[in-house]
Structure 1
Amino acid sequence: MLNFDPAHYLSVQQGATALAAPIREAIGELLSDDAKNVFFMGAGGVNFLMLPAARLLQTRSTFPVHIEMSAEIVNTGSAHLGPGSIAVFPSVSGTTKEAIAAIEFAKQQGATILSLTAKADTPIARLADVNFANDCADPTSSENFYLQSLLLALAIMDVRGEIDDYDEVVAQLQTLPELLVAAKQQFEPRAEALADEIKDEQHHIMTSAGGSWYEAAYYGMCILEEMQWIWTRPVHASDFFHGTLELLEEDTSVFLFKGEDEQRPLTERVERFATTVTRKLRVLDAAEFELAGLTPHVRALVSPIVFAAVLERLSSHLERARDHDLTTRRYYKKGDF
């Protein structure tokens, strides 16, 4: 497999799942200290990786959940942020300036800072009251953060008595890293062919629903746009029929992510329509991957993680097919802007 080290990949994702017990312990302590709400406040694309877990809490827990952009909350504040708030900040680098400013702001309001970082010795990790570090980089970070935030959400629900199969779900998640390697291997031939097919295309509509929607938006912005300079139009499947459908022509590229949660019918509706117009509908279906041993309930939870894993293979082949390194940037290092 192109540019893929299975042993390293496993070590990263197993490192994420190994945090289940420490995360559960920390959440138990915070909730026993009368935590009253949780804020997901990361900066940039990494905050997309928190949102399936945030949505899980919004729909399955009565614990108040708030989603904020770091760059905005320091300007607007929030009446809900203060003592008793758990403010969650994910960061690969641990140095993101918008996140650091938001952490300092949240601390001034009395919030408890919980950070998820790749390294413990970074500014964001040091500013946090609770830090969980797991060594990762861009090619492995998405699954890492999806897993950690899911474990955090499950822990909140377990402490509050809002889930009756916490141990079973966590046990299944422990098997996920090896299943993701198998999914990557299964997708490899398609990733190679798809990269060659789209290497000269400059515009793509990215659509999905449920937990997988956040991966569709993330992949469009953080990979295709940032790393390959390809224009994308992420649109939620429920909004597809409120404008975006009118853009479709026979050569319009549409990437459709079909997860396995209760929002799958929304993506199937897009699929039914798009096949009548465009010949460039690219469907990625989480149900096509074996994921042996996972129950339907857990498969639904991990759909965005599966997509992140297999799309990394597409990214590697796009790098090859387009002769465009995934680390090359035009503007990031030109100073403060």
Structure 2
Amino acid sequence: MLKFDRDLFLKIVGKESLEKRGEIERAVDEVSANGFKNIFLIGSGGTVAMMYPFEYILKSNSSLEVHAVIAAELMVMNHRHLSKDSVCIFASVTGTTQETVAAAQYCKDKGATTIGFVAKPDTPLAQTVDHCILAPDEKHSFDTFFVYLQLLTFRFIHNHDEFPQYAQFAEQIANLPEGIVQAMEAFDSQAEQFAIKHKDTDYHMLVGAGNLWGNTYSYAMCILEEMQWIKSKSIHAAEFFHGTLELVEEDTSVILFKGEDETRTLVDRVERFAETITKELFILDTKDYELEGISEEFRKHLAINLNWALTGRISVYLERERNHPLELRRYYRKMAY
């Protein structure tokens, strides 16, 4: 597969990231033992999008109070739920994202407990938070962070006496990387054909819901817009019929992210509509992939990790077909703003 090292992925995501399980559990157990009132999931751009799936999981599987908040907005909105009794979770690959680092310090100044996922040690975010969980490498850092967030989220729910299956769940996560690799291999030619067909498409609609809404938002903004300079719009499936449907035409590219949680029916509804209008409907459905060793009851949660990895295959082929490196920027971190 283009720009993919199977052995490296399994080493980083399948082995080294899972070695952090004990560290994550100890951090969560300490916070739980000390007591807390609520959880804040905080990030900027792709990392706040990464938090949205776990806000959904917490809201739909636990009575714990949770807030997913954009870092820069948090610091100006006078959030009345943020206090010394809050636990605040952050992520930054470089550990230098300006707004995220500032928000971490802001939360610490409020007396909150802070936990950060970082891929580079000795960086501002790593040095600011109370508990820093390092990724093994910058490469595959988002895949690693998703594993960390699964363990962290469900450990909190378990400690709240709402997820007795935690041990089984955490053990099965060890099977996930191999299943993801097999799914990527199966999807690869489809990803390549999409990129070839759409290398000159100048606008995409992306639709998702539930725990895949964050991935939908992230792929539109952080990949298509930031990394490929392609105009896109992320639309929640539940809101699609309250405006966006009027823009669908015969040649409109509509990309559906289908997961396996309770909101799947919302995406099904968009699919039924879109297939009657556009000839450019593309569906990425996690149900199409086996994920050997993952129980049916856990698949819906781990669809987040799988969907993220599969979209990455589209990205590398868009990069090739458009001759547009994913690292290329005009403005981001290139100028003052």
TM-score, normalized by the shorter chain, greater than 0.5 = yes
- Whole-Å Cα distance in 1 between the matches of residues 201 and 228 of structure 2? 11
After TM superposition, the structure 1 = structure 2 runs for residues 35-50 of structure 1, keeping only pairs within 5 Å, are 35-50=36-51
Superposed CA deviations along residues 217-239 of structure 1, whole A, max 9, x for unmatched, are 11111111100000111000000
Q: Which stretch of structure 1 is more off in the superposition, 176-185 or 72-81? A: 72-81
For the pair 1:161 / 2:188, whether they are aligned, the reply is no
Deviations 1:152-177 (A, max 9, x none): 11000111111121111111111101
Mean CA deviation greater in 208-217 or 271-280: 208-217
Q: How far is the alpha carbon of 1:75 from its aligned partner? A: 1.1
Q: Which residue of 2 aligns with 1:7?
A: 7
Question: TM-score normalized by structure 1?
Answer: 0.97
Is 1:296 the counterpart of 2:293? The answer is no
Shift of 1:262: 1.3
With normalisation by structure 2, the TM-score equals 0.97
TM-aligned CA deviation for residue 293 of structure 1 = 2.0
| Amino acid paired to 1:117 | V
Q: CA deviation at 1:147?
A: 1.6
Distance 1:297 1:22 in 2: 25
Amino acid at match of 1:159: N
Pairing 1:77–2:63 present: no
Structure 2 residue ranges without an equivalent (≥5)? none
Query: What are the superposed Cα offsets for residues 273-322 of structure 1, whole Å, 9 maximum, x if unpaired?
Result: 10110000001111111111212221100112111111111111111111
Q: Which residue of 2 aligns with 1:20?
A: 21
CA contact (8 A) 2:75 2:103 kept: yes
Shift of 1:7: 1.6
> 1:279 aligned to 2:279?
yes
2:45/2:218 contact within 8 Å kept: no
Looking at structure 1, the residues matched to 64 and 308 of structure 2 have their Cα atoms a distance apart, in angstroms, of: 28
**Retained in 1: the 8 A contact 2:84–2:111?**
yes
1:194-240 CA distances to partner (integer Å, 9 max, x unpaired)?
11010000100000111112111111111111000001110000001
Distance in 2, Cα, partners of 1:102 & 1:72: 9
Q: CA deviation at 1:328?
A: 0.5
Distance 1:63 1:215 in 2: 23
1:209 match: 209
Distance 2:289 2:145 in 1: 21
> What's the CA shift string for 1:21-80, capped at 9, x where partnerless?
221221111111112211111122111112211211112111111121110111122222
Number of the residue aligned with 1:98: 99
How far residue 11 of structure 1 moved from its aligned partner, in angstroms, is 2.2
Q: What's the secondary structure of 1:52's corresponding residue?
A: helix
Letter of the 1:305 partner, please give it.
Answer: N
Report the counterpart of residue 224 of structure 2 in structure 1.
224
The ranges of structure 1 where at least 4 consecutive aligned residues each deviate by more than 3 angstroms after the TM superposition are none
CA drift of 1:20 comes to 2.3
Question: In 2, Cα distance between the equivalents of 1:269 and 1:45?
Answer: 27
* Partner-residue secondary structure (3-state), 2:227: coil
8 Å CA contact 2:209, 2:263 repeated in 1: yes
Unaligned runs of 5+ in 1: none
8 A contact 2:175–2:292 mirrored in 1:
no
Counterpart residue type for residue 300 of structure 1: K
Give the deviation of 1:142 after TM superposition.
Answer: 2.6
Q: Which letter does structure 2 place at the counterpart of 1:61? A: S
* 2:45 corresponds to 1:60: no
Instruction: State the distance in 2 between where 1:98 and 1:331 align.
Output: 17
Mapped to 1, the partners of 2:154 and 2:57 lie a distance apart of: 9
Q: CA deviation at 1:19?
A: 2.2
Cα root mean square deviation, aligned: 1.2
- Separation (CA, whole Å) in 1 of partners of 2:21 and 2:84: 25
**Is the Cα–Cα contact under 8 Å of residues 50 and 146 in structure 1 kept in the other structure?**
no
Other structure's SS at 2:91 match: strand
What amino acid sits opposite 2:209 in the alignment? A
Aligned to 1:314: 314
Return 64-73 or 226-235, whichever deviates more: 64-73
The aligned amino acid for 1:224 is L
Q: Does 1:331 align with 2:331?
A: yes
**Using the alignment, how far apart are the partners of 2:11 and 2:85 within structure 1?**
34
Q: Which moved more, 1:190-199 or 1:54-63?
A: 54-63
Distance of 2:121 and 2:42 partners within structure 1 = 19
Contact 2:209 2:238 in 1 (8 A): yes
- The answer as to whether partners of 1:142 and 1:305 remain within 8 angstroms in 2 is no
* Match of residue 152 from structure 2: 152
